Amino acid sequence: MRILVGFAAGGPNDILARLIGQWLSERLGHPFVIENRPGAGSNIATEAVIRAAPDGYTLLLVGTPNAINATLYDKLEFSFVRDITPVAGLIRGALVMVVHPSVPAKTLPEFIAYVKANPGKLFYGSGGVGGITHISAELFKQEAGLDIVHVPYRGIAPALTDLLGGQVQVLFTNIAILIGYIGTGKLRALGITTATRLDALPDIPTVGEFVPGYEASSIFGLGAPKNTPTDIIDKLNKEVNVALADPQFKTRLAHLDGTALVGSSANFGKLVADETEKWGRVIRLANIKPE
């Protein structure tokens, strides 16, 4: 049995797939092989799963890029929501909005006021056009009515390097790579992108506390080819939810800065559809095109 991942080995997508693959292998008595097929923002892996036999032996690690790509790429050979059957949610991950210490704002309201007084003078970095670190910032700009210039990088590491050096002033990204810099004062955290605060940064408010309706997160789950039998989907969903309730498994997820997405396959399908619609609006309004 295979779980296809649309990104290279070693990253959070790959690690999560291996965690759930090992769990399912032990529970179901079938070996699960993780296949990394990076490229085109996960579209290559997605299309391979769509073309696979609907027998439960080929699964896709579904993520926010799938919801984004539905609008970002206007000539896809498939419709993700139509051609992938949701199996189960896995985790929801938060991003943290950080600024360089040279930015005088100490709080999010102060930051918003500062940017409005200095339109077009601040720069935010991202890990690339159309990624979650890009469109989460674009959503913030749209909801708060701000003019901040986007500087895309080939990956989040060089964006973080330039943020630390002051070449860009703002970044939205995962807490894991930021927590040390926040603790030492090299970066200042202003907001959490999810609807609730993070246990790791309990004093940092959510962006939505000051920008009503704002929410952005990375979601992950499993999908299967269209027409996969319901009994197979239900069995896989049950085993995933058992994993999400297991204390040891939940501890492993915490290391990925994620909270469990417990629920039915229909629950996960609705979440993916809602995310696809939300990010579609952001992409169209900002006129974002793939590189």
**Mean pLDDT of the region 183-202:** 95
| pLDDT surpassing 90 at residue 199 | no
Query: What is residue 27's predicted lDDT score, i.e. its pLDDT?
Result: 95
Give the pLDDT confidence score for residue 11 in this predicted structure.
85
Kindly list the distances between the CA atom of residue 115 and the CA atoms of 73, 191, 192, 244, in Å, as whole numbers in the listed order: 31, 15, 19, 41
Confidence of residue 257 (pLDDT cuts 50, 70, 90): confident
Tell me: the pLDDT tens digits for 48-85? Answer: 999 999 999 999 999 999 999 999 998 899 999 999 99
pLDDT digits (tens, 9 = 90+) for 121-177: 999 999 999 999 999 999 999 999 999 999 999 999 999 999 999 999 999 999 989
Mean local confidence (pLDDT), 4-21: 94
- Going from the C-alpha of 38 to that of each of 57, 132, 285, the distances in angstroms are 20, 17, 28
Q: Which two structure tokens, joined as six digits, stand for 208?
A: 């939505």
Q: What size, in residues, is the chain?
A: 291
Confidence of residue 206 (pLDDT cuts 50, 70, 90): very high
> The dihedral of CA 157, 163, 167, 170: what is its sign?
positive
Contact criterion met (CB below 8 Å) for 156 and 173: yes
* pLDDT at residue 97, as a whole number: 98
Handedness of CA 114, 120, 126, 131 (dihedral sign): positive
Does residue 91 surpass a pLDDT of 90?
yes
Question: Percent of the chain scored above 70 by pLDDT?
Answer: 100
Q: pTM score, two decimals?
A: 0.94
Give tens-digit pLDDT for 212-246. 999 999 999 999 999 999 999 999 999 999 999 99
255 pLDDT exceeds 90?
Answer: no
Mean pLDDT in residue range 258-279? 96
Indicate the average pLDDT of the chain: 96
Flag whether pLDDT at 254 surpasses 90: no
